[in-house]
Structure 1
Amino acid sequence: MRTIVASLFTSLDGVTDEPGQWHFPYWSDEMAEDVEATMSGADTMLLGRRTYEGFAASWPDRADEGAEFMNTITKYVVSATLAEADWNNTTVITRDQVAELKARDGGTIMISGSVSLVRSLLLAGELDELHLLVHPIVLGRGARLFDDIGTELPLTLTGSRTFGTGVLALTYTR
């Protein structure tokens, strides 16, 4: 059975919305190494529809660090509304098909962003690891990972690291 690992940028007050607007001042070589380590071993990426649309509009035209990985990895968009995906190596699946994908042979299945999908998989017990990069900024508004989940969700801290920029890398399992 494969593992599903999600990695999210979050503010101190839990906002995961639009990290491109607040995350980059905290980017560092340490964070790049951490993100790369999280991606290593992954041969598949799960994306929610909104994250897919943003990534598909951006990554195919890029040639910077990470572009080759993002453009060649096998991608699955979990969506009930998207009919087809045109970014190379991308297939649209339903939420019910995630368990089938996880049961197949292969490497780690990674999720980058896709907050609604991460929340859904966490609540269903299908997410194996949650990797949060907590930035030392309070945004005060925006979508949060744990908005209105309606239940307790006990997690176990399995790793932590502090970067020179003040960002905390926290790893949790269910």
Structure 2
Amino acid sequence: MKIVAGLHISLDGVIESPERWSFDYLCPEAGESIKGRRDSTDILLLGRNTYEEFAAIWPGQDGEVADFMNNAPKLVASTTLTSADWSGATLLEGDAATALTTLKQQPGRNITITGSATLVRSLVLAGLVDELHLMICPIVLGGGKRLFDDADGRVPLRLIASETFPTGVAHLTYGPA
């Protein structure tokens, strides 16, 4: 299995609260790109904050995306949660990096991380992310949480693929160098 992460990011590197600024840049082509990643997902991996946000929103929704979110097997990386009650959700036991290293050895397609920037950052720095999909929106936010604000040291990556969309979004896919 591969670990595949996808994030919306501003030109100045902000990943915080993309629901407030990135939706203006979605278009059918970007939607198809996101759908392609969703369709190749065997397991959804979420950090605690994203899990709590999604578990509060998606169970009351319907439609194609809601069906995926509600029915997909979900792993939750958290050191503070004691249970994960959303349908199909399981807490990762022990150290997330160790558990995911073992899980990556299993047959299957992708373990997909949506949002969960803290988790994505830690897994990129640990060398566990096989594909990092950045949807770079043509906006400067001037402030907010950045993906690698507190990164310690270098992590070389290589560009695997790139595409642009009519709204000016650049979709860059990186993998380990």
Shared fold (TM-score greater than 0.5)? yes
The normalised TM-score by structure 2 is 0.94
Identity %: 49
Report the Cα offset of residue 40 of structure 1: 2.1
Q: Aligned residue for 2:34?
A: 35
The number of residue pairs the alignment matches comes to 173
Q: Aligned residue for 1:63?
A: 62
CA RMSD of aligned residues (A): 1.0
Q: Aligned residue for 2:172?
A: 170
What pairs with 1:1-174 in structure 2 (closer than 5 Å)? 2-93=1-92, 94=94, 95=96, 96-174=98-176
Letter in 2 for 1:83: T
Cα distance in 2 for residues equivalent to 1:100 and 1:34:
28
Cα distance in 2 for residues equivalent to 1:107 and 1:65:
20
Consecutive aligned runs of 4 or more in structure 1 exceeding 4 Å deviation: none
Cα distance in 2 for residues equivalent to 1:99 and 1:90:
19
Letter in 2 for 1:120: S
Cα distance in 2 for residues equivalent to 1:82 and 1:61:
22
Report the Cα offset of residue 167 of structure 1: 0.5
Report the Cα offset of residue 79 of structure 1: 0.7
The normalised TM-score by structure 1 is 0.96
Letter in 1 for 2:146: R
Cα distance in 2 for residues equivalent to 1:165 and 1:6:
22
Report the Cα offset of residue 101 of structure 1: 2.0
Report the Cα offset of residue 103 of structure 1: 2.0
Report the Cα offset of residue 65 of structure 1: 3.5
Cα distance in 2 for residues equivalent to 1:102 and 1:45:
13
Report the Cα offset of residue 4 of structure 1: 0.5
